[in-house]
Chain A
Amino acid sequence: MSLFDGLRTLIVSWAQAGYLPELLTYGFVVNALMAGLIIGPVLGSLGTLVVVKRFAFFSEAIGHSALTGVAIGILLGEPYTGPYGSLFGYCLLFGLMLNYLRNRTGLSPDTLIGVFLSLSLALGASMLLILASRINIHILENVLFGSVLTVNSQDLTVLAVVALLTLMAMLPFYNRMMLVSFNPQLAAVRGVSVKLMDYLFVVLVTMVTVASVKVIGAILVGALLVIPAACARLVSRSLRGFFWGSVVISVVSTLAGILLPIVFNLPVPSGAAIILVAGSLFLLAAVARSLVPAMKGDVV
């Protein structure tokens, strides 16, 4: 029995005894909420760097490349419920190659990402057509849009390990990754290894994206790296407010997106619900900023 099995059993038993809401008597709901509580803070915190470094399109591309990773995994015989070998392998290759060529081709990042994204989607679409004759293609809907019903202990373990690794890398290197985006030359003079930080950031975004695919889905996972941070950026005046605001918005969006379809019995996939909540918060923040002058900070 894994740590998460034990935790789930404990929470379910407390719910059955009446100490916790009745909703938590369902094991899949507990699994989904644990997944949300792990990925929410990770996506929210890493998202602040994605926004500062203007990597939004990159994180979207990594998310979309997960679709191809899943297709490759199933073709190679991995279980369709968790083809993590191919997912991590393909997406890391995609991200690292993109970063390698970005430093060598002289092409602007958006042009290069556009080329890679198109290639990857074409490859994924071709493989999915081959897969269509072998498995029920509707299974892939879960991969595309996320499904809380299918999150299991293995997924939670993968999420927890990725979250831990991300935290271990973010704490000592957060400032350096940010400084590199402000001025690489200045960062280098101050002793920062610019290339290493670039690659580390790409690896972190890729790992977090891939680990979150099960809950949010390949199509929308990149959005949760961007929307909470973009929302927090609108209403905060310091780095501290920006970071913690992004984390809170991400956690609230994730938990609300998981719970609302279950509580109200809505036929909405979890990924879509999470992004709809995050998007609504973003629109509220944008309106609030335009109506309340103090929220604009002291920008002139």
Chain B
Amino acid sequence: MNMAVTPVPGTGPAIAFGSVSLSLGGTDILCDICLELSAGRTHALVGPNGGGKSSLVKALLGQMPHQGQIAMTWPGDAGNVGYVPQALEFERGLPMTVEDVLATMVQTRPGFLGLARRHRELVDTALARVGLSGKRRRRMGALSGGERQRVLLAQALMPQADLLVLDEPLAALDEAGIRLFETLLGQWQAEGRTVVWIEHDLAAVRRLADTVTGLNRKLLFHETPEQALAPERLINLFSHSATEVPLAAGEVA
């Protein structure tokens, strides 16, 4: 199933999933996923828990053995891939500041020697973009869930990724955080970066995504938000016996 969306010229890659299948412990997680994601666009993955969204993303990141092919076509040299997980496994009492955590991600020099001078500007810029400049010396454990999520967004800006893979970034964000995310996403879209975005907030998906892909072990649809988030599609997507929805007339197969 495929829907052509005009690529946006920029630094992000086009991604083609060719008959991707994946099973764990004898259970089929993904069955024969054929999907093409246009370069420089924002692609939302939606579906019920256990539907295979995270597995597809892991396969995309090369961290899950699978059958089939996943090909990335970059506009020039292969760029940076950024990943924003849902959370870090972080003990609240651990004596690590925001700057310490970011230092462990961007430099080889051990974090206990402090942030290297040559990375300071990179960290300063990333923290400013996520509105955390004033909290760089705060312990990670003392931050709110939304602030920790902003730190995770900041690391994807160091260096700025050309392909961004986001795993429910809105789940922990407050109102201000969601506005900040929308600003960042707008910049990424303007710069032609490809975004693959797992999300449960369908209102945000309708507002912000270029395409929406419904997954429930198999590919159910891949369409524009207006087509994909019609009530009958959603009922089908989140029902137990989800079936592939026939393409509407005029849709490109």
Contact = CB atoms under 8 A, between A and B. Distances in A.
Contact of B96 (A171, A189, A238): A238
B95 A242 contact: yes
A178 B83 CA distance: 17
Given A186-B85, A240-B112, 10 more contacts: A174-B110, A175-B109, A182-B89, A189-B165, A233-B94, A238-B137, A239-B103, A239-B104, A240-B111, A244-B112
Contact of B114 (A179, A188, A237, A240): A240
Contacts of B108: 172, 175
A48 B104 CA distance: 14
Nearest to A187: B105
B153 to A, nearest CB: 12
Interface in B95-136: 95-97, 100-101, 103-105, 107-114
B181 to A, nearest CB: 18
B139 A299 contact: yes
Interface residues of B, number: 39
Interface string A162-182: 000000001110110011011
Contacts of A286: none
Given A186-B83, A237-B97, A178 B142 contact: no
A236 interface: yes
B105 A188 contact: no
A175 B102 CA distance: 10
A241 interface: yes
B97 A238 contact: yes
Question: 8 shortest A-B CB distances, which residue pairs?
Answer: A243-B112, A239-B100, A189-B83, A174-B110, A175-B104, A298-B142, A236-B95, A242-B95
A179 B155 CA distance: 12
B145 interface: no
B136 to A, nearest CB: 11
A236 B97 CA distance: 11
B112 A237 contact: no
25 contacts: A52-B91, A171-B110, A174-B110, A175-B103, A175-B104, A178-B111, A182-B88, A182-B104, A183-B87, A185-B83, A186-B155, A188-B62, A188-B63, A189-B61, A189-B81, A233-B95, A239-B96, A239-B97, A239-B104, A239-B111, A241-B95, A243-B110, A298-B139, A299-B142, A300-B142
Nearest to A54: B91
Contact of B105 (A179, A185, A239): A179
The dominant DSSP class at the A interface is helix
Contacts of B89: 181-183
Nearest to A246: B112
Nearest to B111: A239
A238 B95 contact: yes
B95 A185 contact: no
A179 B63 contact: no
B58 interface: yes
Nearest to A51: B94
Contacts of B103: 175, 239
Contacts of A79: none
B92 interface: yes
Contacts of B104: 175, 178-179, 182, 239
Contacts of B112: 48, 174, 239-240, 242-244
Contacts of B61: 185, 188-189
B27 to A, nearest CB: 14
Residue picked from A171, A179, A186, A297, most chain B C-beta under 10 Å: A186
Contacts of A171: 110
Contacts of A238: 95-97, 100, 137
B52 interface: no
B138 interface: yes
A297 B95 contact: yes
A299 B93 contact: yes
A191 to B, nearest CB: 10
A129 B156 CA distance: 58
A189 B82 contact: yes
B195 to A, nearest CB: 15
Contacts of A186: 83, 85, 88, 155
Nearest to A45: B112
Residue picked from B62, B82, B83, B104, most chain A C-beta under 10 Å: B104
A52 B95 CA distance: 10
Contacts of B137: 238
A239 B82 contact: no
B141 interface: yes
Contacts of B114: 240
A237 B95 contact: yes
Interface string B141-166: 11000000000000100000000010
Nearest to A194: B63
B138 to A, nearest CB: 6
Contacts of B105: 175, 179, 190
Nearest to B137: A238
